[in-house]
Structure formats: structure tokens, C-alpha cells
Structure 1
């Protein structure tokens, strides 16, 4: 069994996929890892590029684009590693990142899910960790409204920008651009919810993990570049119906608490090595 399954989902992004696969090849070292790419019917040069430049990649080609959650569930079915990391194709793995994530999880059996520090292409910090959002958080963070209140305590409590992002911390959820799980987590929480075509499938999977008492940690010693920030949505755009449908599904399924305040399940405290294990047991 490999230590790590690396899963990527791509749609009409051959250059970005080339970049992230090259970074994996250059940085994984002697880590026992497999790489799985799901192509969501790109119908461009993506498939030929992977076959020609990365013949060691396991490539699955879909005949239609069925969305992010379906593609990630395909990765789950193909993966054989002890851990599974999902990467967006607009990422670049920096040296030592994958090894650090695996070694940290091996050393902390009480942890079920984790993610690295994300950096923009210019090397600056991307605020990728969050508490579970309330409706007002979604309205502010996902639109131009955040620009109106950049120094608001309410905004900062959600973006966690006042944290020291150099410390390992327990968090509620983190951007799906780079998230890693023990494979047994999915025996407990189930697969990604395919009712989410695009966005919020990551928040939903972390929420279900938290409901089962499973811990998620942010590991800043592992660094991955994420070239694009999670999208902000103007009032009118070509994906507005998908975005709204995902928001409503999240609120109906997962949101609880007061309208105004996000719900902190993970607690956000620094991780203590004496924390009691809550990780699901591997199947015999």
C-alpha cells in the first residue's frame, strides 16, 4: 500500500496540470506515492500531454463534466494509499511538503485530516483556514462586501488573519485546493456529496468529519502554492446559479447556530500532542 495517493481533478487546464505534475515529480523524493488524475471531459490537449510527459500517472477520462464532488469520489475509488491528498490543478507542490504532511500525520494518530500552508504565486500567505461559515460570513466573504469592511473584527474572526500562521493549529476547515485525509475517514463520513457540483463540497466533508469528532489540523511547515484565490462572486456572473445552489445546499445540510456568527467546531487552538485520539480505525 502506498503511503500517499495524490488526486487531481482537471478541466481544460493543461498548462496548470503540467505545472503541478512537474512539481510533484520534482519534490516527492522517495515518498511512496501514486498520482491519479481525473479529466472532466476537457476535450483539448490535456490527455495527450499527460500520456506523453507523465506516463506514470493513472489517468481517468470522463465523457462529460459532472463536477468536482463526482471527480473527487472517482479519486477515492482509485486511491490505494494510507493517506489521500486532493490537489487543485492550479497548485504547485514545494520541496518537502508532501513528506511533511505524511510524517506529521504518522506522528499524530489523533488527527484525521490536515492541510498545508497555502501561498500565492508571489509567495505571500493565503488565508486558507476558516471556521464553519454562517450566512453572513458567506455574504461578506464571497462578494465585494468584504472590501467594505477589511478591518472588521467580524471579518477577521472568520478569515483568521490575526492568527500566527506559522503554528500547527486545529481548524474547522481549509481550502479544498490542498486537503489530506486518512483513508479511513471516508468509511466514517461517506463520500463527497455529489449534490455539490462546484464549491462547498470541501466545507461539507470537513463539517461531517467534525460531527464525528474527527480533528483537522493546519500544518504550516508544509507549503504549497495556490495560484488562484477562492472566487469572490459579483451579483451577476456565468456560474451564479451553481454558486447559489451550493450555498443553499450547505446551509440546509450543515449550518446551525445563530445567523450572525460562524460556528467553531474545531476550536482553533494550538494542537497538543497529548490530545486523545479520535481517528477512525482502519478496516481489517
Structure 2
């Protein structure tokens, strides 16, 4: 059996995708590897370039953008490895990361999913571990408390602080940009919930893994770079809205109706504040005027969606 199946979902990130695949082959020396790339109807010749440079990669080309969750599921169902590794196309794998993660999980049977130490492109630590969303951390993030008072424990957001990433630890949620999962875990808890088009599908999967009795562990012994925003930069307004929709979907799935109502109120108020602020900034000439106009438009769409979501039934 193949040791590791790597699943990569791509949407118009040709250069990043090629770098990602190259890094996988260059740094994985002790594990047999298969790479499956699921392309969500890219228009930048990603698949042509990939097939030319790496003909050994298995490619699946969707006729339309099916979203991150569904595209990943297509790849997962084709995977043959003992471990399934879900990687964003804007990730660069550093030396031996996959080998180290497989070796670590092999000797620790209670671990269901493992995440590596993750850096931004400038090699600053990227927060990739989080606690489950709740009213406290939603409020603190929505009203800037977690940003204004980052060292105050009571005001922390859902993401763990950067100082927490120095040692191995058990966590509630691992970021979906890079996560290794046992095949038997996938068989037990299932694949991604396809109702999540983009965002929060990884957190939902982590919760199901945790609820099934498996450990989720952050392991800094393996390192990767996540450049971030490889796909979302191509459509910033759309992705802001998709993130909000995914958050709402998560709460509707895992929380009570009163909790959902309070979540909606927090989100609506926080979004209104941001929309108003960016709108005011956009009215005056400055170096941030273009950004302000885009942001105001994005938050305006989010407000409209929040209002319409009030009409939805649970």
C-alpha cells in the first residue's frame, strides 16, 4: 500500500501549484507517495502545465468550480495511501515534512489528524491551530478585543497565540491548509461535508474526528510554508462572503438555535461597523481609497446576506 496520498485542490494558482508539487517530490524521501490534483475549472492552464512538468501526478478536472470540500472529497475517494494528506496549492513543503509526520503518527495510534508548524512566506509563524467557535471568541474577534489585547487570555480569539507554537500539543482544530489524516479515520467519520463550499469544512471535519474519540495534534517537528490567499486573492469580495456563509453553516450544524441567534447578532453588528468604517474612508482621497471601496462593497454584500439569512429556516 502507498504510504501517503496527497490531495491538492487547485483554482487558478498555476505557479503556486507547480512549486507545491515540486516541493513534495523534492522533500519526501522515506515515504511512497501519490499526488492527486483536483482542478476546479481553472482558466490559467494549470492542468496543462502540471501534466507537462509532472506527468506522474493524477489529475481530475472538474467542469465547474465545485468548491473546496467537494473537490477534496473527489480526491480522497481516489486515494490509496495509509495516510491522506490534504494540502493547499499555495503550500511549500520543507525538508522531510511528510516523512516526519508519517513517522510520528505511526508510533502514536491515538492520533487521528496531525498538523505541521506553518510559516508565512517571510518565515513568520502562521497560526494554524484553533479552538472551536463559541460566543466568547466570536465576540472578541468581531469587536477587535483579540487584536487590541492579544496578551489578555479572556479576550483571545479562536486562533492560538503565536507563543503557543513552540511545542507539540493536542488541539481542537487544525487548519485545512495542511493536515494529515489516517485512512481509518476517514473511513470512520467520513469526508468533508459538501454543504461547506469554501471555509470551515476543515473545522467541521476536525470536530467530527474529535467527537469520534481521536486526538488532533500540532507537531512542530515538521515544517511547511503557507503563502496564503492563493485562490482567495483572485476574488476577495466573493471569499469574504463565502467565509461568512461557512461560519453560519457551522453554527447551524453544531449549535443550538439561541446560540445561532446570538452569533447572528454579533456578526451583523460587527459587519455593520466595518462596512460603515470602510465606507467613510472610501469617501476621501488617500492611498487606501481603492482598498476601502473594495472592502466597503464586500462588507455591504455580507450585510445583505446576513439580512437574507434571517429568512432561512434552521
Report the TM-score range of the alignment, normalised by the length of the smaller protein. Answer: 0.7 to 0.9
Matched, 1:147 2:147: yes
The alignment partner of 1:49 has SS state of: helix
Contact between 2:129 and 2:171, CA under 8 Å: does it hold in 1? yes
Instruction: Please tell me whether the aligned partners of residues 73 and 191 of structure 1 are also in contact (alpha carbons under 8 angstroms).
Output: yes
Give the direction of change, closer, same or farther, for the CA distance of 1:100–1:60 in structure 2 (3 Å limit): same
How big is each residue's C-alpha offset from its partner over 1:230-262, in whole Å with a ceiling of 9 and x where there is no partner?
999xxx9333442222111100112469969xx
What RMSD over aligned residues (CA atoms) do the two structures have, in Å?
2.7
SS of equivalent to 1:126: coil
SS at match of 2:118: strand
**Using a 3 Å threshold, how does the CA distance of structure 1 residues 240 and 162 change in structure 2: closer, same or farther?**
closer
Separation in 1 of the partners of 2:240 and 2:24?
33
Rounded to whole Å, the distance in 2 between the matches of 1:131 and 1:202 is: 13
Separation in 2 of the partners of 1:75 and 1:30?
23
Q: Distance in 2 between matches of 1:182 and 1:51?
A: 28
The alignment status of 1:246 with 2:246, answered yes or no, reads yes
Q: CA deviation at 1:188?
A: 1.4
User: Which is bigger in relative contact order (C-alpha 8 A, separation at least 6)?
Assistant: 1
Q: Which residue of 1 aligns with 2:301?
A: none
Count of aligned residue pairs for this structure pair: 258
The 2-side partners of 1:132 and 1:200 are apart by 11
Partner of 1:264: none
Judged with a 3 Å threshold, the aligned counterparts in structure 2 of structure 1 residues 22 and 142 are, in CA distance, closer, same or farther, namely farther
Question: How many angstroms apart in 2 are the aligned matches of 1:23 and 1:125?
Answer: 19
Name the residue aligned to 2:215: 215
Q: Does 2:130 align with 1:130?
A: yes
Counting only pairs closer than 5 Å after superposition, residues 57-206 of structure 1 correspond to structure 2 as 57-138=57-138, 140-141=140-141, 146-156=146-156, 158-161=158-161, 163-206=163-206
Task: Report the 3-state secondary structure (helix = DSSP H, G, I; strand = E; otherwise coil) of the residue aligned with 1:184.
Answer: helix
TM-score, scaled to structure 1:
0.83
The Cα of 1:213 is off from its aligned counterpart by 1.1
| Contact 1:121 1:226 survives alignment (8 Å) | yes
Change in CA separation of 1:31 and 1:123 when aligned onto 2, cut-off 3 Å: same
**Length-normalised TM-score, structure 2:** 0.75
> Counterpart of 1:186 in 2: which secondary structure?
helix
CA 1:230–1:48: 2 relative to 1, 3 Å: closer
Cα displacement (A) at 1:163 = 4.8
- Distance in 1, Cα, partners of 2:41 & 2:130: 32
Distance 1:90 1:57 in 2: 17
C-alpha deviation, 1:209, in angstroms: 1.1
In the TM superposition, residue 138 of structure 1 has moved relative to its aligned partner by: 3.7
